Amino acid sequence: MTAATGAAADLQPPRPKEWDCDVLVVGGGPAGSAAAYWLATSGVDVLVVEKKHYPRAKTCGDGLTPRSVHQLEEMGIGDELAPHHRYLGLRANAYGRTVTMSWPEHPELPGYGYVITRADLDGIVSARAEKAGATVWQGVEALGPLPTTQSPGALSERVRDQVPAAGGALVKDLARSRTTEVRAKYVIVADGSLSRFGRALGTSRQRDWPQGMALRGYYRSPRHAESYIDSFLDIRDSNGKVVPGYGWIFPLGDGRVNVGVGLLSTKGRWKNVNTSKLMDAFVAQAPASWCLSPETSLGAPTGGRLPMGLAVGPRVGPDWIAAGDAAGMINPFNGEGIAYGYETGRLAAAAVADALAAGDAGLLAAYEESLQNIYGLYYRVARAFIGVLSRPGLMRLFVNTGMYSQSAMEWLLRLMGNFLRPDEVGPAEAAYKALAALARQVPER
C-alpha cells in the first residue's frame, strides 16, 4: 500500500497503531533522502521518518565538492543549487604559504562546488524525494526496530545468528506523543554518526580506526564571497603546538562564512584535546582579513564525533542496510561526508530494489560488496595515511614540504579528494597505486 504524504502533523495511519510500506528509511539527511529518491523513482513504496522538521541545522562544513554536486545533479537538483554560493576550488594555507588550486579535471565530475547550509540543503533533497513519490514524515522519531519473522534469505549462518532483523520500527510523532508501528520489508538506517537505531541492531565502531572530532560556527565576514574555500593545515592549540587536523573557512556568499576545526584521533591519540579551545585558538590565529572575532560570531559553535573510513559495522543485516554516516562512510583523508552519504544512499537503494524485485533478501549482500569494491582499498590507504599524519613531526614535515610545490599539492588534492581518474594514470594515480600496494602488505586489526 502507498502511505499518504505529509509531515508529522498530517500523520494519519489507516489503522490506529500500524503502518505498512516496502521500505522504511530512518533519517532524512543526505543518505536517507538520496535512498528515498532512488527507491521512489523505481516505483518502490518508501517512507522516510525524520526526527526534526526542515529546515534544521546540522554540524557540518556546508561545502559541497564536485562529488556531491554530481549526485545532486543526477537527482535533478542542479537548478536549485544555482542561487547558492558557487566556488571553484581549494586554497591551502600552512606555515606562512598559500597554494590555490582549482578542482581537478575529471571525466565524470563538474569543476565546481557549492557552499550551502545543511538547513537549506537537506530540505531541498527531501522535497525532491517526496516529489518523486516518497512519503516523508517530519518530527517523527524511530524509537527502535520491531521483531520480525521474515526469512533472512541467503545470508550466512553467522549473520543470521549474530545480526538481528529490523522488521520496521516503532516510531513516535513527537508533536502528538503518539506512537505507530511501521512494518517494512526492508529498512535503510541513515540516522547519522551516532545512529541509535543502528546500535539497536548491533552496529558499532572499530575503535582502533580513525575518528574525526569537529566543531563549526558562523561568522560575518567581508570575504564571504570568495571563489575558493580555505583550508588551514597547520592548526595550533593555544600554546602554539601543531595538532593533527585542519581548520576551514568556507564562504557562504550571503555575508557569512562557515568556520571550523577538525581533529583526527587515531588509536587513542588526541582524543582528550578540547575542540572548543582549539576552535578559539584557530579563530584568534586566522588572518585578520577575515575579521573573525567574538563580535562577528553569529552564535556558539556546535560539534560532534565522526566515524570514518568504513569504521562502523556490520552494514548489512537480514532485512536492513546502514548508509552514510551511520555506516562510518566519511572520507578519512578530508573529513567529507555529504558526497558519501548521497553515494551510499544510492547504492543502498539499488540493493534494496533488487531484493524487492527478486523476493530475495540475500541480495542485500551486494551492497557490502559494492562498498568494498568502490571504497574498501581507498579507505584502507586513507586510514594508514592518517595514522602517519597523526604524529605531529611527520605531519609538519609532510605538509611543510608539500606547500613548496604547486604540482605536489595539486596531485595531493586529487588523491585526498577522491578525484582519481579512471581513464588515465597521472602522478596522483601513480602515487595512489604505490600507497595501495603498501597498504595491502600492512595488516589491520
pLDDT digits (tens, 9 = 90+) for 175-216: 999 999 999 999 999 999 999 999 999 999 998 888 888 999
- The stretches in the chain having pLDDT less than 50 are 1-9, 13-16, 149-160
Chain center to CA of 45? 25
The closest alpha carbon to 142, from 176, 177, 168, 175, belongs to 168
Question: What is the residue extent of each domain of the chain?
Answer: 8-58+119-206+308-377, 85-112+208-307, 380-441
pLDDT at 390: 67
Question: Which pLDDT tens digit goes with each residue over 270-299?
Answer: 666 788 899 999 999 999 999 999 999 999
What's the CATH architecture for 85-112+208-307? 2-Layer Sandwich (3.30)
Is the fold of 8-58+119-206+308-377 the same as that of 85-112+208-307?
no
Cell of 28: 532524512
Q: How far apart are CA 39 and CA 45, in angstroms?
A: 8
Residue whose entry in the numeric block shows the C-alpha cell 553515494: 343
Q: Which pLDDT score is estimated for 182? A: 96
Query: Is the Cβ–Cβ distance between 72 and 81 less than 8 Å?
Result: yes
d(CA 313, CA 136): 27
Q: Strand 113-115 to strand 85-87: parallel, antiparallel, or no bridges (unpaired)?
A: antiparallel
CA distance 345 to 326: 11
Total Cβ atoms within 10 A of residue 119: 14
* Residue 59 CB neighbours (<10 A): 17
Rounded to whole angstroms, the Cα distance separating 230 from 44 reads 41
Q: What φ, ψ does residue 41 adopt, rounded to 5°?
A: -65, -20
This prediction's pTM: 0.92
Q: What pLDDT score does 267 carry?
A: 62
- The residue written with cell numbers 562557515 in the block is 258
Q: What is the pLDDT of residue 158?
A: 45
The answer to whether 255 and 224 are in contact (CB under 8 A) is: yes
Residue pair 432/438 in contact by the 8 Å Cβ criterion: no
Q: Pick one of 3.30.1050.10, 3.20.20.60, 3.50.50.60, 2.40.110.10 as the CATH number of 8-58+119-206+308-377.
A: 3.50.50.60
Q: How many beta carbons lie within 10 A of that of residue 396, not counting itself?
A: 16
Alpha carbons 308 and 331: distance in angstroms, whole number? 6
Alpha helix segments (H runs only) across 107-156: 118-131
